[in-house]
Amino acid sequence: MIKVIVSSKEANQRIDKFVKKYLNEAPLSFVYKLFRKKDVKVNGHWVKQDYFINEGEEITLYVSEDQLKEFSKPKETIKKDFPHEIIYEDENIILINKPRGLLVHGDINEKRVTLTNDVLNYLYFKGEYDPNNDKGFTPAPAHRLDRNTSGIIAYAKTLNALNCLEKLFKDKTELTKTYLALVIGYFPNYMEIDLPLLKDPNSGLVKVTKEKDGGQRALSKVSINKHFKGYSLVNVELVTGRTHQIRVHLASKNYPVVGDAKYGNFKINKDFKSLYGFENQFLHAYSLEFKDIPEPLNYLKNKKFTANLPANEKKILSELD
């Protein structure tokens, strides 16, 4: 039997999430079996897995010492310099300029080399996160960024900050997220692309379709940043956040993103690979602008943060100019 007092860092989350982090090596089947057997209690009372825990409450887990030893193993950490640009950091959040080609979270093929692991390692050696003692909350990204998209991504260091950021990214009324994209063709000064999108679960490709046919509404606001001969650098504000939204929307208007292997112009992509050694989509999460946001992040009201373009993309733009 284990007894744990909920700290302020661990409060305001579902108890099943707390248990999964506390028994970090336990199979999910074992964790949910504890709830079915009523082997998880709060202040002496059995609770369901969706119960939200509060600061100061006493959690009791009915597991043996052998099970605790097996399922609660220390996480390995390696002392190294943080390899990514930190755009902004305070006690609640950290904004990183993610390089192209790096996963935010692990997938079936790669679990170790991820931005999240780098961030957790960095915070561990700063003394702001200990995976072996902070059982309730793990610092986490508040939104997604594709592997082959570079740019700004926000991590929360506390649960309250994560809840606040996730709500901002979901509602999108008090936060503006802008991308830079190099597209083929002479783009007009401004265009709103309001076209529903549908993802094919088998191929993973996204297409424009009608809402009555299952498409989800998707809105992108696109403005010109700079014209080049045969190309345009555009600013894209995402009003919605559908999978591949920017790439599909721009391709649907005959302005495909340079280097896009799924929806782009394959001949020009080949030319860019030959000329510049560039074989990814030219898409960069450029800025986050906070508006009238609530606590605990209200001190960021009206602040804007930007991420520098990678060196190779800067070089390409200078040669196109």
Strands 93-98 and 85-89: antiparallel
Residue by residue, DSSP assigns 127-166 as TS--TTT--S---EESS---TT-EEEEEEESSHHHHHHHH
Nearest to 67, CA basis, from 107, 39, 98: 39
For residue 135, which amino acid is it?
Answer: K
Please tell me the distance from the alpha carbon of residue 259 to that of residue 184, in angstroms, as a whole number.
Answer: 10
Alpha-carbon distance values, 229 to 111, 186, 260, 284 (Å): 42, 8, 19, 21
User: How far does Cα 292 stand from its chain's mean position?
Assistant: 22
Phi, psi of 272 (to 5 degrees): -65, -35
Nearest to 316, CA basis, from 284, 285, 277: 277
Q: How many CB atoms lie within 10 A of CB 66?
A: 8
Please tell me the distance from the alpha carbon of residue 123 to that of residue 157, in angstroms, as a whole number.
Answer: 9
Q: Of the residues 16, 146, 194, 292, which is catalytic?
A: 146
Q: How many CB atoms lie within 10 A of CB 46?
A: 13
Cβ distance 116 to 102 under 8 Å? no
146 flagged as catalytic: yes
Please tell me the distance from the alpha carbon of residue 227 to that of residue 245, in angstroms, as a whole number.
Answer: 22
Lookup: tokens for 216? 């989800």
Q: How many CB atoms lie within 10 A of CB 261?
A: 12
Q: What residues contact residue 141 under an 8 Å CB cut-off, 6+ apart?
A: 104, 105, 115, 116, 153, 154, 155, 156
Nearest to 321, CA basis, from 244, 231, 204: 231
- What positions carry a catalytic annotation? 146
